[in-house]
A and B are shown apart, each in its own frame.
Chain A
Amino acid sequence: MTENFVLTRFDPCPLSQENVLDSGSDSKALIAMDVRSKYYFVDDKGEFFHEYEIPSNADIHNCGGYVDKIVKYRDPALKQYLTEQGVTDEAFHTDRFPILATRSPQCDLILYRLMMFVKEHSDKDKISLFDLGCTVSEHWDFLNLLIDVGSRGQEDAATLMTYYGLDKSQMLLGVSRLMHDWVEAEHFNLLRADGTDFDFADHFFDFSLTIGVVNHVARPKEALAKLIKATRYAVVAVIWVTLDEQGYESFTHSLLPYYCFTLKELQEIGSDNGEGKWYITDYVPESKGSQQKSLIGVGTDNTSELGSLHLLYTSLEGFAKQQKLVLLEDAVFS
């Protein structure tokens, strides 16, 4: 068979040094934008050759990545591996299951340990969890695995947790429902709303979880404040920050407004809305992230100051001490 084409991958729109939205317009709000997803081909002179459109809806793209996590979490081989190895830090770094070392399972591991800590030090038999930006509820599945393995099959997420997942995507919530249709609705609650539009009483939830969602809700600071207020023991969060002194506004690739917090803002929101403290468990500079061009308009000048903080906001000082966690205020960013 002779080859018709030799294909080389290229970047059709490399990052410029400056923020492209800052050049030529004084107001970002006035720029109307369209997003199209497609395969795109140019010839060796750079002239258009061919394109093939695919769905542009971010919910569809998210469906792939998040459902794939559930598929991996439900792998019987993974359950067997963790049963043999135990739920330990070492077990989470293995070439056999590289997903264990990624962001979400690492956050879930902290959350699982927090749950076990509270269970051990209180008489609670049911733990409530708020998953802000739950997509298809993949965190439920990984926690289910850890609880099952950790209890040697005596418990699972359905018996230990009352789960509340909130997402603005009706499609992803629909997929979540289909993938958890055997879990009793009483302990598996799905809510559709923007990530700011929730109102729960103070300390309504024992724990909360949010992975990057407070950065792209309608009112980011308000959402984070409400999340802290609504949570009794601990908020496990990944939040994008800027190391600059001013918060940074942009847009996601899905044209959603995006806000990067300053460290000072995090501290203020924490102290104004709860009794806890911020602890840092990891920091990933944007230049080392897995999706470096997820923000529209950001130039290379800005990305050097951006990164994602893996955080724990908690008043459980005993837990922080046990896990040797570092206070955010003491963290050094190099």
Chain B
Amino acid sequence: MSQNLMWNVGKFTYQQGLDKPIHFMELKDFILNDSLDFSHLFYVRSLRVKTIESDMKDAGLMNWIEGCAFRFIAETLYDLWEHKLFDNPQVHITEISPGSGMTFEYLKYLRESKSNSFDMHYKAWGPEKYQLKFDVLHVRDDYAFDYVAVEHIKPLSKEVTQDTDILIVNHDQWLQSDEGGECDVLNCLQEVEKPTLMAVRVTIAEESEVATTVRGKEVILPSLPRVLELCGQKDSDSCYRYFSHFDKNFFLPSGGSEIGLLLLYTVGQSIQLPQFNHCLSYERKSCLK
């Protein structure tokens, strides 16, 4: 049975020491999403342009950024490159559900901050409404990119992985955004033959579970054991890293199992990065402790 809740999002003003607000100003959802995305993007860009790095630091923003997977995705991809995953001098990267391009921006930062680094061509597959933002925010940077606007990211067509060296499935961003459609990670794992890097919000339950985000988005969270089992069967060298209770308040409490972030790569080679484990080594008990 459904539970009725009343909700809002905005600025609550309290007289110090009191619990009851004296004022509330609603923040519009669309402005809020952009605010957090853009601030995050410009924070990363400020890391690239060191002179204004300190201007962008805000404790609340830093705390919020910790609840996003972009940095983990970019760092993992970079580490895979350092472990000689790619043969080509220019790495072709495709990301599904890129938001305003934070993974892209982190990759630029990593590339520029290392002395021996890679060249990249980045391609994004995302909803049409992000296209203009993405284009405007990245067009003046000296990096090749394409943005392919799609109505829904399912089903994955061959076109998505054509000419790409690695596919990023950013389920975390899809889940946090107001994008529609369905980001079916199990389908991706089954269908995609190319090296794949995924950031997935999962439940540790044996089966997938329904969860509701604070933005009112109802989603089916894949089962961690199921994803790892499937991944291990497909590629015995695939590896994962699990972040327990990652950004857990983003979901409304519903009595379901623990929710966390799964970072996963299956690349057809035996590369085990620090802090990652082989999918086949997963023991259910380890998460349930």
| B55 touches A (CB below 8 Å) | yes
| A33 touches B (CB below 8 Å) | yes
Question: Residues of A contacting B35 with CB < 8 Å?
Answer: 60-65
| B115 touches A (CB below 8 Å) | no
A171/B23 in contact, CB under 8 A? no
| B233 touches A (CB below 8 Å) | no
Question: Residues of B contacting A34 with CB < 8 Å?
Answer: 13-14, 16
Contact with A along B124-136 (1 / 0, CB 8 A): 0000000011001
Q: Which of B42, B58, B60 has the most CB of A within 10 A?
A: B42
SS of B interface (majority): mixed
Question: Residues of B contacting A54 with CB < 8 Å?
Answer: 9, 32, 36, 60, 64
Question: Residues of B contacting A2 with CB < 8 Å?
Answer: 2, 210
**Looking at the complex, which one of A5, A31, A37, A174 makes contact with B212 (CB distance below 8 Å)?**
A5
| A186 touches B (CB below 8 Å) | no
Nearest B residue to A31 via CB reads B15
**Looking at the complex, which one of B21, B140, B214, B220 makes contact with A13 (CB distance below 8 Å)?**
B21
A49/B5 in contact, CB under 8 A? yes
A37-B27, A56-B60 known; A8+B6 contact, CB < 8 A: yes
A35-B11, A60-B39 known; A297+B2 contact, CB < 8 A: no
Chain A, interface residues (CB within 8 Å), range: 35 or more
Nearest B residue to A175 via CB reads B42
B7/A174 in contact, CB under 8 A? no
**Looking at the complex, which one of B6, B37, B220 makes contact with A10 (CB distance below 8 Å)?**
B6
Question: Residues of A contacting B37 with CB < 8 Å?
Answer: 64
**Looking at the complex, which one of A5, A21, A37, A67 makes contact with B10 (CB distance below 8 Å)?**
A37
Distance to closest chain B CB from A190 (angstroms):
11
In the bound assembly, the distance between CA atoms of A255 and B4 in angstroms comes to 33
Question: Residues of A contacting B34 with CB < 8 Å?
Answer: 64-65, 67-68
Nearest A residue to B250 via CB reads A52
A60/B36 in contact, CB under 8 A? yes
Question: Residues of A contacting B16 with CB < 8 Å?
Answer: 32-34
| B254 touches A (CB below 8 Å) | yes
B58/A55 in contact, CB under 8 A? yes
A294/B25 in contact, CB under 8 A? yes
A40/B2 in contact, CB under 8 A? no
A253/B6 in contact, CB under 8 A? no
**Looking at the complex, which one of B13, B26, B36, B136 makes contact with A35 (CB distance below 8 Å)?**
B13
Q: Which of A40, A42, A51, A181 has the most CB of B within 10 A?
A: A40
| A318 touches B (CB below 8 Å) | no
A33-B15, A41-B6, A44-B4 known; A71+B136 contact, CB < 8 A: yes
B22/A297 in contact, CB under 8 A? yes
**Looking at the complex, which one of B14, B32, B64 makes contact with A61 (CB distance below 8 Å)?**
B32
A50/B58 in contact, CB under 8 A? no
A177/B52 in contact, CB under 8 A? yes
Nearest B residue to A21 via CB reads B22
Name the interface residues of A49-85: CB closer than 8 Å to any CB of B: 49-57, 59-65, 67-68, 70-72, 74-75
| A334 touches B (CB below 8 Å) | no
Name the interface residues of A1-60: CB closer than 8 Å to any CB of B: 1-13, 20-21, 31-44, 46, 49-57, 59-60
Distance to closest chain A CB from B38 (angstroms):
5
| A296 touches B (CB below 8 Å) | yes
Distance to closest chain B CB from A126 (angstroms):
24
A61/B52 in contact, CB under 8 A? no
In the bound assembly, the distance between CA atoms of A27 and B76 in angstroms comes to 56
A71-B132, A71-B136 known; A35+B12 contact, CB < 8 A: yes
B46/A178 in contact, CB under 8 A? yes
In the bound assembly, the distance between CA atoms of A283 and B212 in angstroms comes to 43
| B252 touches A (CB below 8 Å) | yes
B2/A171 in contact, CB under 8 A? no
Nearest A residue to B42 via CB reads A175
A39/B214 in contact, CB under 8 A? yes
In the bound assembly, the distance between CA atoms of A37 and B39 in angstroms comes to 16
Distance to closest chain A CB from B240 (angstroms):
26
Nearest B residue to A55 via CB reads B60
| A291 touches B (CB below 8 Å) | yes
Distance to closest chain A CB from B34 (angstroms):
4
In the bound assembly, the distance between CA atoms of A38 and B32 in angstroms comes to 11
A174/B56 in contact, CB under 8 A? yes
Distance to closest chain B CB from A42 (angstroms):
5
A178/B49 in contact, CB under 8 A? yes
| B144 touches A (CB below 8 Å) | no
Question: Residues of B contacting A57 with CB < 8 Å?
Answer: 58, 60-61
Nearest A residue to B46 via CB reads A174
Nearest B residue to A32 via CB reads B16
| A304 touches B (CB below 8 Å) | no
A74-B136, A178-B45 known; A293+B5 contact, CB < 8 A: no
| B253 touches A (CB below 8 Å) | yes
Nearest A residue to B49 via CB reads A178
Chosen A-B contacts, 17 in total, with CB atoms closer than 8 Å, are: A5-B2, A33-B14, A37-B11, A40-B8, A43-B5, A53-B63, A55-B36, A55-B60, A56-B60, A60-B35, A60-B60, A64-B38, A68-B34, A70-B136, A171-B55, A175-B42, A253-B25
Mark A residues whose CB is within 8 Å of B.
1-13, 20-21, 31-44, 46, 49-57, 59-65, 67-68, 70-72, 74-75, 170-171, 173-175, 177-178, 181-182, 253-255, 291, 293-294, 296-297
Give 8 nearest A-B pairs by CB, closest first. Answer: A64-B35, A55-B60, A174-B55, A64-B34, A13-B24, A10-B6, A32-B16, A39-B214
